[in-house]
Amino acid sequence: MATETVENYIKALYALCRESPSGEAGVVRLAQELGVTKGTATSMIKRLSLARLVKAEPYSGIALTAKGNKIALDVLRRHRVIETFLVRTLNLDWADVHEEAERLEHALSARILDRLDEFLGRPSTDPHGDPIPDAAGNVSETRSKPLAKCRARERVCIVRIMDQNRAFLKFVAESGLKPGANLVVHSVSTQGNSLTVQAVRGKPVTLSHSAAGKILVKIIS
């Protein structure tokens, strides 16, 4: 079994590779993400490479191997099942659960994870709308687009919040913009740097372009 530290590196690498157009991660960003120096990250990459969890040439990009990807999805599954449990069963604030899950994700056996998953009714997404990979590592992401790309008068349903920041999550919840909420795009500013939406039976909310970019929605037919 991978150590807690290795699992954290793998998970961070997975996220960085996702969001990079080249599909590869860099050492500096990785170090930033994990709060370590770049030298530390470099030496860990060497170890992961030796363990065949990543593919990396000196002075070039880092990518996960199939084996590394498997671990990433497994950790992600544990993380998201735990978040779901913490919110649904223990009533923790959805803005707090990410950090809690960050520690717990490394301590659950496969057996407990499965029991927890069963107890929760095999949820397909966590409280933030993040898809939960199944035990085999399959992820089914709902087709969606950023709210920032919507046009006026579109009716949409929020599917996912792409940011773990506590303050942002608090704001999103305050504004009634949690996953599942239906809303109408009221107006879009001409410069495209903000837009106003209104939840059903809610007050209108104006969002900056960057905030609206982190909220994924699907169009209601």
**Sequence-separated (6 or more) residues with CB below 8 Å from residue 195:** 147, 148, 150, 185, 186, 187, 188, 189, 206, 207, 209, 212
Residues in 120-139 at the binding interface with DNA, rule: CB under 7 A: none
The three-class DSSP label of residue 220 is coil
Would you count residue 107 as binding a copy of itself (CB under 8 A)?
A: yes
Would you count residue 130 as binding Mn ion (CB under 5 A)?
A: yes
Residues in 64-103 at the binding interface with Mn ion, rule: CB under 5 A: 83, 102
Residue 205's H or E segment, with its range, is strand 204-208
Would you count residue 42 as binding DNA (CB under 7 A)?
A: yes
**How far is residue 51's CA from residue 65's CA, in Å, rounded to a whole number?**
10
**How far is residue 195's CA from residue 208's CA, in Å, rounded to a whole number?**
7
Would you count residue 208 as binding DNA (CB under 7 A)?
A: no
Residues in 59-88 at the binding interface with a copy of itself, rule: CB under 8 A: 86
Would you count residue 71 as binding DNA (CB under 7 A)?
A: no
Instruction: Choose among Mn ion, DNA, a copy of itself, none what residue 151 binds, the Cβ cut-off being 5 to 8 Å by kind.
Output: none
Closer Cβ to a copy of itself, 96 or 154, answer by number: 96
- Kindly indicate which of the ranges 56-64, 85-93, 121-129, 212-220 contains the residues binding Mn ion, using the contact rule CB under 5 A: 121-129
Would you count residue 119 as binding a copy of itself (CB under 8 A)?
A: yes
Q: Are 104 and 8 in contact (CB under 8 A)?
A: no
- Among left, alpha and beta (phi > 0; psi -120 to 50; other), residue 26 is beta
Q: Which one of 52, 103, 145, 153 is in contact with a copy of itself (CB under 8 A)?
A: 103
Instruction: Choose among a copy of itself, Mn ion, DNA, none what residue 39 binds, the Cβ cut-off being 5 to 8 Å by kind.
Output: DNA
Would you count residue 154 as binding a copy of itself (CB under 8 A)?
A: no
How many binding residues for Mn ion (CB under 5 A)?
A: 6
**How far is residue 53's CA from residue 68's CA, in Å, rounded to a whole number?**
4
Would you count residue 56 as binding DNA (CB under 7 A)?
A: yes
Closer Cβ to a copy of itself, 25 or 169, answer by number: 169
Would you count residue 21 as binding DNA (CB under 7 A)?
A: no
**Quick one: 198 exposed, middle or buried, by C-beta within 10 A (0-12, 13-18, 19+)?**
middle
Up-side HSE of residue 149: CA atoms within 13 Å toward CB? 9
Binding site for a copy of itself (CB under 8 A): 86, 89-92, 96, 100, 103-104, 106-109, 111-112, 115-116, 119
